[in-house]
Amino acid sequence: MKYRLLSMLAVSVMVLANAVLADPIVIKFSHVVAENTPKGQMANKFKALVEERLAGKVKVEVFPNSQLFGDNKVLEAMLLGDVQMAAPSLSKFKRYTKKLQLFDLPFLFNDLAAVEKFQQSPEGQQLLHATEKKGIIGLGYLHNGMKQLSASKPLRVPEDARKLKFRIMSSDVLAAQFKALDAMPLKKPFSEVFTLLQTKAIDGQENTWSNIYSKKFFEVQPYITESNHGVLDYMVVTSAEFWNGLPDDVRAEVKKALDEAIALGNKVAYEKSVADRQAIIDSGRSEVITLKPEERAKWVAVMKPVWKQFEGQIGKELIDAAYAANQ
């Protein structure tokens, strides 16, 4: 009896010691932008919150600036277990779902407030599940901002973009949008954009004020047209295998930390869309072109027919629901 009690005690001590000494769960979070951006700040806040609340249990390693993977590779890497979390632009999910192409439709949303309204609606929340069949779970949306067009020449009307080469994210909708302008779209990773612009291998690109500023595109693009023609937002994702394998209490705490980090990232996104725009103007390196209403109407007229091309893949009801968020 005495021996049985002693051996039970020994086993309990070992289990306890194992629990205490167990290696922490590591979450590698890979992204492509600078740390002083909405996504960069969100990821750093997430790390701080998780490591404060789950000290010793979970460690978060953040890899910014495409240090670990570019956005075109990160989802593959996640499914292989090489990273556990990422937040690619919604334009980069084409291999996993066609539904998210919705967010690339030109002139669908008037501003970030409409984007937010749609993302929080039942239809928007449902889209977080769009990649689940492929083993990828959407944990939440994160804003960056509305996109602007930068180029080596002033773009005031759609004809100004004819025959110019534009870098785009890996999205067929964005390719169609530039083809509608009779321009040449080139799908290239974010990490290559500055060099492509600097060496004049391309003439222009589309991006948010925050990305144009933090990656210094404005230093090699003399003109930026304030077109607000599309949105660049993110989905924070993880692999189903990793997420479902977490202990319930850890998963709940990680999700709570993520929601708080996203709230901070969204606040940064609103602030940066004003501050980085102003910083670019103040730099004097790039002229910011404001479109007259009749000029803007011409861009809308040329680009909006792209919706029809993708209606079958995205779904008309979804497009209508997103458009209704402008009211």
Binding site for ligand SIN (CB under 6 A): 32-33, 71, 89, 144, 169, 190, 207, 211, 232
User: Least separation, in Å, of the C-beta of 36 and ligand SIN?
Assistant: 13
Q: Measured between alpha carbons, how far is 142 from 114 in angstroms, rounded to an integer?
A: 14
For residue 186, with 0-12 CB atoms within 10 Å meaning exposed, 13-18 middle and 19 or more buried, which class applies? middle
- Residue 150 contacts residue 215 (beta carbons within 8 Å): no
Phi, psi of 235 (to 5 degrees): -120, 125
How near is the Cβ of 232 to ligand SIN at its closest, in Å? 6
CB of 177 to ligand SIN, least distance (A): 14
Q: Which is nearer to ligand SIN, 231 or 246 (CB)?
A: 231
Which two three-digit tokens encode residue 55? 């000290």
- 28: part of which helix (H) or strand (E)? strand 25-30
Q: How far is the CB of 69 from ligand SIN (least distance, A)?
A: 12
Between 148 and 239, CB nearer to ligand SIN: 148
Instruction: Return the DSSP state at 292.
Output: P
CB of 282 to ligand SIN, least distance (A): 23
H or E element at residue 145: strand 136-151
Closer residue to ligand SIN in complex, CB, 97/205? 205
Of 54 and 164, nearer to ligand SIN (C-beta) is 164
- For 136, residues 6+ apart whose C-beta sits below 8 A from its C-beta are 75, 78, 79, 96, 237, 238, 239, 240
Which residue of this chain has its Cβ atom nearest to ligand SIN in the complex? 190
Distances, alpha carbon 65 to alpha carbons 181, 211, 317, in Å = 31, 11, 37
Helix orientation angle between 172-180 and 293-303, rounded to the nearest 10 degrees = 120
Closest distance of CB 55 from ligand SIN, Å = 29
Cα(56)–Cα(149) distance, integer angstroms: 46
Cα–Cα distance for residue pair 66/141, rounded to 1 Å: 20
List the one residue out of 120, 123, 112 whose CA is nearest residue 141.
Answer: 120
**Rounded CA separation 317/311 (Å):** 9
Rounded least distance, CB 317 to ligand SIN, Å: 28
Q: Write down the least CB distance from residue 211 to ligand SIN, Å.
A: 5
